[in-house]
């Protein structure tokens, strides 16, 4: 999705970094041209770029592919860049390098600091709160609303690139969704990063999250008052086994960009322990500590939804807010799609419903947006709302079984009260 700020909005340049601005609580990267190169693949040899594009991108017409081959691509042969006319007609040869140039629109992210250039002011770097730092590790309290590393449309609007702009090269050791906040462990070198990743794979690292969920969670007691200075540590919050709720149900993903049946991943075992921390009667919400034993995609969010206590502002797994109710209901009702009485034909029918549901949601959004980029012609969607860039799920504590590593963040505001 391509977004663009309104042209008449108030913009504040970020610490003199050209092309990056703050506006309305968002960090904006102005569109820019970006080039990348790659070696020609074997299946492309002896064919023109237009032929290759037509074959690789079925959604584009042959005329669109010819136009893109002329405007956006260039063949580099024996260190010589062919002209646009030559690139359009040349047959690709072995060892050719294909250069792609495109107009990049990065989605805005949530502004996390008023001063990113404050590289080391005690407890911050690039505006991010430092939880721990030594010669090999940098542990940060990740803000919500920003991806960790370049992915998809995000590049400059990522934590890794923001840190790099301040002279800090890091290697993330684990995932956190864009909308999730909390502990982020990064190595300052590949060796340290690989060591931590190995510990995670061996399940010697224990992770504790905080989530604010709908309703009164099972076994909840009025343990603390909102804003209480004696807020428990992660260890204390999960100490009473008699108050724990264990959720064991399988996980899988449904990737609509893939074809059926490859879109359905294999179901895998998943286990999460939940401990109620505090009930907020005025909102009928519960603050819950969550300890995932496995590390499946969206595991905590799905397990909470299956228990009937979704995260209060979850845009996908909370039935109140989701734009994809059919897909959500399928995931909640069928922990293992491959272990049911559904026929292949029925499963394919469900998948088609999911595709149509997603297309409808995207079409509704596009119908309300008529602005296009003057340079590249893509549709410019409105900037996201701040509340859509925050999920009430926070990585609170990371520790290993030996006790050698243990990191805990401060408590997010939404966890302290109504």
**Residues annotated as catalytic (active site), given as ranges:** 177
CA distance 128 to 45: 47
CB atoms within 10 A of CB 253: 15
- Cα-only R_g, the chain: 24
Measure CA 355 to chain center: 21
Handedness of CA 327, 329, 332, 333 (dihedral sign): negative
Left, alpha or beta for 70 (phi > 0: left; psi -120 to 50: alpha)? alpha
CB atoms within 10 A of CB 315: 15
Contact of 277 with 223, CB cutoff 8 Å: yes
Contact of 353 with 326, CB cutoff 8 Å: yes
DSSP letters spanning 87-125: HHHPPP-TT-EEEEEEEE-PPPEE---S-TT-TTSSSEE
């Amino acid at each position: 999705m391509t977004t663009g700020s309104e042209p008449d909005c108030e913009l504040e340049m970020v610490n003199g970094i050209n092309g990056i601005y703050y506006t309305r609580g968002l960090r904006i990267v102005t569109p820019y041209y970006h080039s990348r190169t790659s070696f020609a693949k074997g299946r492309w040899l002896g064919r023109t770029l237009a032929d290759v594009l037509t074959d690789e991108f079925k959604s584009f017409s042959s005329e669109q592919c010819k136009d893109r081959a002329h405007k956006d691509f260039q063949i580099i042969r024996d260190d010589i860049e062919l002209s646009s006319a030559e690139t359009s007609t040349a047959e690709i040869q072995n060892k050719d390098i294909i250069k792609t140039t495109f107009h990049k629109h990065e989605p805005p992210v949530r502004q996390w600091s008023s001063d990113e250039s404050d590289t080391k002011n005690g407890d911050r770097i690039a505006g991010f709160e430092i939880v721990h730092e030594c010669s090999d590790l940098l542990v940060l309290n990740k803000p919500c609303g920003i991806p960790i590393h370049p992915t998809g449309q995000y590049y400059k609007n990522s934590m890794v690139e923001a840190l790099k702009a301040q002279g800090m090269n890091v290697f993330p050791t684990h995932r956190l969704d864009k909308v999730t906040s909390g502990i982020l462990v990064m190595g300052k070198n590949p060796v340290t990063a690989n060591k931590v990743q190995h510990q995670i794979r061996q399940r010697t690292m224990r992770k504790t999250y905080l989530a604010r969920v709908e309703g009164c969670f099972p076994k909840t007691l009025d343990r603390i008052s909102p804003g209480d200075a004696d807020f428990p540590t992660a260890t204390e919050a999960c100490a009473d086994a008699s108050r724990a709720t264990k959720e064991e149900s399988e996980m899988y993903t449904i990737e609509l960009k893939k074809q059926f049946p490859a879109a359905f991943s294999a179901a895998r075992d998943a286990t999460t322990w939940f401990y109620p921390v505090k009930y907020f009667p005025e909102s009928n919400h519960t603050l819950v500590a969550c300890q995932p034993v496995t590390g499946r995609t969206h595991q905590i969010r799905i397990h909470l939804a299956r228990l009937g206590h979704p995260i209060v502002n979850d845009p996908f797994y909370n039935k109140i807010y989701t734009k994809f109710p059919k897909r959500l209901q399928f995931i909640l009702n069928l922990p293992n799609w491959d272990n049911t009485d559904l026929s292949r034909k029925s499963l394919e029918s469900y998948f088609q419903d999911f595709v149509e549901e997603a297309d409808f949601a995207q079409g509704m959004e596009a119908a309300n947006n008529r602005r296009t980029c003057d340079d590249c012609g893509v549709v410019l969607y409105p900037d996201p709302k701040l509340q859509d860039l925050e999920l009430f799920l926070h990585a609170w504590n990371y520790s290993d079984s030996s006790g050698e590593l243990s990191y805990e963040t401060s408590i997010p505001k939404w966890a302290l009260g109504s």
